[in-house]
Amino acid sequence: MLCEECGNNQAEVMMTTVINGESTTRHLCRQCLKKYQAGNLQAVLAAVLSSMTAKNQAQIPDVVCPQCGQTYAEFQKTGMLGCAACYQAFRKELTPLITRVQGRTQHAGRRPPVSEEEQARQTLMEDLRARMEAAVAEENFEEAARLRDELRAMTPVREENA
């Protein structure tokens, strides 16, 4: 049997990957196995994606990104999208794939870093909230009200009809 990754060498290793309870088995040669062991994330992702979508390959038309011209078939081979617009162009195909790999399609991780000024403002607001809660716990309501008003002044006003 030939290696499912490169298609050139004899497969010597069988690798099973389990993602969200779905098991995928691949037959690899020693060179391709080294890519996985070296932590080549791009190769791992491409292999997992190709094995997960191989079953549905005939059903998916070759969609093209209008921004960069990358096709969905190219994405399946490389595991990398060409540009940010690819997410929208391949949305129908990517949604079930992302759900299977990550368990959800909504971002649940850390937020991107903010400017130093915004970070300082958020830190100050957290400090004011903690001091206000401590003042309430000590039944010092005048101080708690003053801190509340200070917090309100720092909180940006959201426009209702924007």
pLDDT of residue 18: 66
Clarify whether residues 147 and 68 are in a common domain. no
Residue 62 lies in domain: 13-102
User: Do 145 and 73 fall into the same domain?
Assistant: no
Within a domain: residue 109?
Answer: no
Phi then psi for residue 88, to 5 deg, are: -75, -40
Q: Assess if residue 147 is contained within a domain.
A: yes
Please indicate, yes or no, whether residues 94 and 69 belong to a single structural domain of this protein.
yes
Q: How many domains does the chain have?
A: 2
Are 49 and 60 in contact, with CB atoms under 8 Å apart? no
* Residue 17 in domain: yes
Does residue 141 sit in the same domain as residue 79? no
**CA nearest 48: which of 15, 74, 70?**
15
Q: What is the pLDDT of residue 47?
A: 62
Q: Which pLDDT score is estimated for 162?
A: 45
50, 77 Cβ separation under 8 angstroms: yes
Is residue 97 domain-shared with residue 120, that is, in the same domain? no
Provide the residue-wise pLDDT of the chain in tens; the chain has 162 residues: 888 878 888 888 887 776 656 677 778 888 877 776 655 555 556 666 665 555 555 555 678 999 999 988 888 888 788 888 888 898 888 888 777 777 777 766 776 677 888 888 888 999 999 999 999 999 999 999 999 999 999 887 655 554
Task: Note whether residue 20 is domain-resident.
Answer: yes
Q: Give the rounded distance of the alpha carbon of 57 from its chain centre.
A: 23
Q: Among candidates 45, 49, 74, 47, which has minimal Cα distance to 62?
A: 74
Q: Are residues 43 and 92 in the same domain?
A: yes
Q: Are residues 18 and 94 in the same domain?
A: yes
Phi-psi region of 47 (alpha: psi -120 to 50; beta: other; left: phi over 0): alpha
Helix or strand or coil: residue 74?
Answer: helix
pLDDT for position 60 = 57
Q: Are residues 24 and 89 located together in one domain of the fold?
A: yes
pLDDT at position 2: 86
